[in-house]
């Protein structure tokens, strides 16, 4: 166990954990929005994130993006990547809701059926990108789909450079962009849910669907809205993932999705601010744990922490539901 390395570079490990946890938090928002309204754990959300990473890679491949473009072009590629990823992930999330969950709701299917359907959809999407699309598009886009299930690298849009140093902690430009962008997007989503008419509809349905319907809130529109919002956040996370780690794969969503779900539960599933707190906390704990033990223990550490937290606080750190969010 290497406690000496942890304490001698604790600032650096904290910054690394925050930049990793910010991505977990953005993905976790999709889980927490859907659970807050429908009491449904949408395990297919991890593949909504995966679709976003492929959308970013597809756009940059189509534009012929190369490593380290000039600053003006880099900003343009990032903005376009954000738009395309948000559309792809938001559209995928909406399609999942309309095709799979809506028919089950109309038949008043039990929660177990929704859970099994979510897991099945997740597996289907993984195989679509790992098996079906390579067969259909392998010859047309060989750099993306010509090699099956292997890891695909993304071009480096912004080269990582140290911006400033505090003590022995170096903070680079990509880490700063990831953390600030994630916090800003979550702040906008929190404002939208708590301060707008559409947000009031979401909170009303989350609190009491029958009363909300009597008050004229269209429940179907609210459900579509939360899936689209969760998908957009997953698309943004996909872009930041591409910037920070620079690769994707058809199965990339599996472990990341589990960790994002863990972050949502840690913070208090159904709570937007809890998703942020849970994601950042999980990212820091992972990096600390990997430093103390070894990097191959970080996944184990994440879930051990989840179990320990839930033993003492079963509702998560904040524990507030979406329906009881402040008006």
Is the predicted pLDDT of residue 319 greater than 90, yes or no?
no
153 SS3 class: strand
Run of H or E including 172? strand 169-172
244 CB-contact burial (10 Å; exposed 0-12 / middle 13-18 / buried 19+): middle
List, in sequence order, every residue forming a beta bridge with 170; answer none if it has no partner.
165
pLDDT tens digits, one per residue of 202-236? 999 988 888 988 888 999 999 999 999 999 999 99
- State the Cα–Cα distance between residues 140 and 310, nearest whole angstrom: 49
pLDDT tens track for 20-36 = 999 999 999 999 999 98
> Token pair 């947000």 is at which residue?
199
DSSP 248-314: E-TTTHHHHHHHHHHHHHHH-TT-HHHHHHHHHHHHHHHHHHHHHS-GGGHHHHHHHHHHHHHHH-T
What DSSP letter does each residue of 136-150 carry, written as one string?
HHTTTSHHHHTTTTS
What pLDDT band is residue 314 in, cutting at 50, 70 and 90? confident
What distance lies between CA 139 and its chain's CA centroid?
31
Q: Note the pLDDT of residue 321.
A: 62
Q: How many CA atoms lie within 13 A of 197 on its CB side?
A: 4
Whether residue 327 has pLDDT greater than 60: no
Those residues whose C-beta lies under 8 Å from the C-beta of residue 300, and which sit 6 or more positions away, are none
208 three-class SS? coil
Could you tell me if residue 148 is left (phi over 0), alpha (psi between -120 and 50 degrees) or otherwise beta? Answer: left
149-164 residue pLDDT tens: 788 899 999 988 888 8
What pLDDT, in 10s, does the model give residues 62-114?
Answer: 998 889 899 999 999 999 999 999 999 999 999 999 999 999 999 989 989 99
pLDDT score at 227:
96
Q: Does residue 176 carry a pLDDT above 70? A: yes
Cα 84 to Cα 140, 201, 229, 272, 312, distances in angstroms: 20, 27, 14, 24, 42
Residue 142 has pLDDT above 80, yes or no: no
pLDDT at 52: 96
Please give the average per-residue pLDDT across 275-279, as a whole number.
91
Q: What is the mean pLDDT of residues 251-275?
A: 88
Closest CA to 114 of 49, 45, 48, 209: 45
| Residue 184 binned pLDDT confidence (cut-offs 50, 70, 90) | very high
Residue predicted with more confidence, 298 or 60:
60
pLDDT at 326 over 60: no
């Amino acid at each position: 166990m290497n406690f000496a390395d942890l304490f001698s570079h604790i600032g650096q490990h904290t910054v690394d954990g925050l930049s990793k946890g910010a991505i977990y938090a953005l993905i976790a928002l999709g889980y927490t929005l859907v659970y807050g309204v429908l009491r449904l754990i949408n395990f297919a959300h991890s593949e909504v994130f995966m679709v976003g990473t492929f959308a970013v890679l597809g756009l940059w491949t189509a534009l012929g993006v190369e490593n380290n473009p000039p600053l003006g072009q880099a900003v343009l590629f990032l903005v376009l990547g954000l738009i395309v990823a948000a559309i792809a992930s938001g559209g995928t999330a909406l399609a999942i809701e309309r095709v799979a969950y809506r028919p089950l709701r109309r038949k008043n299917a039990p929660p177990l059926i929704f859970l099994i359907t979510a897991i099945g959809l997740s597996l289907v999407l993984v195989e679509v990108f790992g098996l079906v699309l390579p067969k259909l598009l392998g010859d047309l886009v060989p750099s993306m789909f010509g090699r099956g299930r292997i890891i695909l690298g993304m071009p480096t849009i912004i080269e990582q450079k140290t911006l400033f140093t505090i003590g022995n902690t170096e903070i680079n430009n990509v880490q700063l962009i990831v953390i600030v962008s994630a916090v800003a997007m979550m702040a906008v989503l929190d404002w939208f849910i708590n301060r707008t008419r559409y947000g009031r509809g979401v909170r009303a349905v989350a609190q009491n669907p029958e009363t909300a319907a009597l008050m004229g809130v269209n429940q179907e529109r609210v459900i579509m809205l939360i899936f689209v919002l969760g998908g957009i956040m997953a698309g943004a996370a996909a872009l930041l993932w591409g910037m920070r780690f620079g690769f994707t794969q058809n199965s990339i969503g599996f472990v990341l999705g589990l960790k994002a779900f863990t972050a949502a539960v840690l913070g208090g599933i159904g709570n937007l601010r809890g998703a942020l707190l849970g994601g950042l906390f999980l990212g820091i704990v992972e990096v600390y744990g990997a430093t103390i033990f070894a990097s191959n223990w970080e996944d184990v550490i994440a879930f051990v922490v989840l179990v320990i937290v839930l033993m003492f606080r079963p509702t998560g750190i904040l524990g507030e539901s979406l329906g009881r969010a402040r008006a």
